[in-house]
């Protein structure tokens, strides 16, 4: 570990306790700038040491079964969310040879994606991870905080799935005739929070152990709902897509959740367009939540923790339920694009 770490008290996992954040006076709230050096661009991926990856491979790969976690790049065919450019393919033959080429154009966040460290800053301070500014990023030839730093070793290690969607439906059935209204009325296309207590309850129900450095995946059921609406109610889906800003279910930003994520994981991904419930608290209620921070600010800009969105976790969830095992090995190789903001994950879960 480099940088200012010699003066920082580290716990048994080699990181400062959450209550020690920020590490330097004057840095944004909950930030860990300088922990791995002022020039670091890996953030919490530094937790994926060779030793942890080797141990995860040894303990998690038993059969060699592989499951893709990638939603098709063209899954959103007619319109999408956040006004992002949809995937487009130009396919063309190259006569006189019997040969084809194609050209793809798309926004890197229109399907499964890892948000990189150029994506989201602390909004008040206007600073990205390790204090990088918008001017730094847009300087000619700048690669700072680009996705290429993650491409060198990938995002590889032990993954665990929190199948919140299955857990929620099971809770409703088991508590009839008086299930929790909060679970019954869960709306994937509203700003519906998934609180930390639900994550803990789901993990306990699954019997899933967390190991430091894990890659966390949370299945809300959003992609399943999107697929249903796409085939049965396309006009309703289009209505959701036209909202500005759009609304989604997701993790509930809270200090206990920040503590939980910081203390355990190297990266976190979900199956909805925004890992956190959207719009953020401060955006939708600035009077009561004006000083609150979004997950994007703290995770990306504060810690350098990758945020995954629109991961297809449907087949993974089925396999986990069949095996009664919610841990697996993860291999994700982001695209090696210098100065890239985000990337398709190119991710596999291996059992």
The answer to which of 143-152, 213-222, 272-281 has the lowest mean pLDDT is 272-281
Neighbours of 222 (CB within 10 A): 22
pLDDT > 80? residue 284: no
Taking only the tens place, the pLDDT of each residue in 303-324 is: 999 999 999 999 999 999 999 9
pLDDT given at position 2: 47
Phi and psi for 101 in degrees, rounded to 5? -125, 165
Give the E-state strand segments of the chain in sequence order: 66-68, 88-93, 100-105, 113-115, 155-162, 193-194, 214-218, 250-251, 265-270, 307-309, 327-332, 342-343, 347-350
Confidence of residue 1 (pLDDT cuts 50, 70, 90): very low
pLDDT > 70? residue 241: yes
Q: CA-to-CA distance for 225 and 168, rounded, in angstroms?
A: 14
Greater pLDDT, 4 or 211? 211
Greater pLDDT, 239 or 100? 100
Q: How far is CA 184 from the centre of its chain?
A: 25
Phi and psi for 187 in degrees, rounded to 5? -120, 115
pLDDT > 80? residue 214: yes
Q: CA-to-CA distance for 29 and 31, rounded, in angstroms?
A: 6
pTM attached to this predicted model: 0.94
Helix (H/G/I), strand (E/B), else coil: 350: strand
Q: 224-254 in b/e burial notation, b at 16+ Cβ within 10 A?
A: bbbeebbeeeeeebeebbeeeebbbbbbbbe
Confidence of residue 79 (pLDDT cuts 50, 70, 90): confident
User: Structure tokens of 188?
Assistant: 């994937």
Q: CA-to-CA distance for 141 and 338, rounded, in angstroms?
A: 9
pLDDT > 60? residue 290: no
The stretch 68-78 carries a mean pLDDT of 92
Where helices occur in 115-265 by DSSP H, the ranges are: 134-138, 148-151, 164-174, 181-184, 196-206, 222-232, 234-242, 255-264
Calculate the CA dihedral of residues 240, 244, 249, 252 and round it to 10 degrees: -170
Greater pLDDT, 288 or 220? 220
The answer to which of 6-15, 92-101, 159-168 has the lowest mean pLDDT is 6-15
The label of the residue with tokens 């929070």 reads 193
pLDDT given at position 291: 64
List all residues 6 or more positions away from 18 whose beta carbon is below 8 Å from its beta carbon.
30, 258, 259, 262, 263
Number of helices and strands in the chain (H, E): 13, 13
Percent of the chain topping pLDDT 70:
95
pLDDT > 90? residue 122: yes
The stretch 182-195 carries a mean pLDDT of 95
pLDDT given at position 287: 55
pLDDT > 60? residue 288: no
Greater pLDDT, 56 or 79? 56
The Cα angle at residue 178 between residues 224 and 199, in degrees rounded to 5: 50
Helix (H/G/I), strand (E/B), else coil: 5: helix
């Amino acid at each position: 570990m480099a940088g200012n770490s010699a003066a920082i008290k580290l716990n048994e996992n080699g990181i400062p306790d959450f209550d020690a954040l920020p590490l330097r006076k004057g840095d944004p709230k909950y930030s860990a700038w300088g922990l791995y050096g002022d020039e670091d661009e890996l953030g919490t991926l530094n937790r994926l040491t060779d030793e942890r990856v080797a141990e995860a491979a040894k303990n998690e790969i038993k059969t060699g079964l592989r499951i893709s976690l990638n939603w098709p790049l063209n899954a959103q065919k007619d319109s999408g969310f956040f006004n992002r450019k949809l995937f487009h393919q130009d396919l063309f033959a190259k006569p006189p040879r019997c040969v084809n080429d194609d050209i793809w154009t798309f926004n890197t966040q229109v399907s499964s994606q890892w948000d990189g460290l150029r994506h989201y800053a602390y909004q008040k301070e206007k600073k990205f991870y390790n204090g990088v500014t918008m001017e730094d990023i847009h300087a000619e030839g700048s690669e700072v905080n680009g996705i290429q730093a993650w491409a060198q070793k990938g995002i590889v290690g032990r993954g665990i799935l929190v199948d919140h969607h299955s857990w929620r439906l099971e809770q409703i059935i088991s508590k009839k005739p008086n299930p929790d209204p909060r679970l019954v009325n869960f709306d994937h296309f509203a700003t519906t929070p998934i609180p930390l207590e639900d994550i803990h309850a789901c993990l306990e129900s699954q019997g899933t152990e967390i190991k430091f450095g894990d890659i966390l995946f949370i299945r809300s059921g959003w992609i399943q709902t999107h697929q249903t609406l796409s085939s049965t109610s396309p006009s309703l889906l289009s209505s959701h897509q036209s909202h500005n800003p759009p609304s989604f279910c997701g993790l509930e930003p809270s200090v206990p959740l920040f503590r939980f994520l910081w203390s355990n994981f190297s990266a976190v991904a979900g199956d909805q367009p925004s890992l956190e419930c959207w719009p953020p608290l401060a955006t939708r209620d600035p009077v009561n939540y004006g000083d609150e921070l979004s997950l994007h600010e703290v995770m990306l800009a504060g810690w350098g923790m990758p945020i995954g969105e629109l991961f297809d976790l449907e087949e993974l969830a089925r396999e986990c339920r069949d095996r009664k095992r919610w841990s697996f090995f993860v291999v994700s190789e982001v695209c090696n694009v210098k100065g890239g903001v985000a990337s398709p994950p190119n991710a596999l879960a291996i059992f």
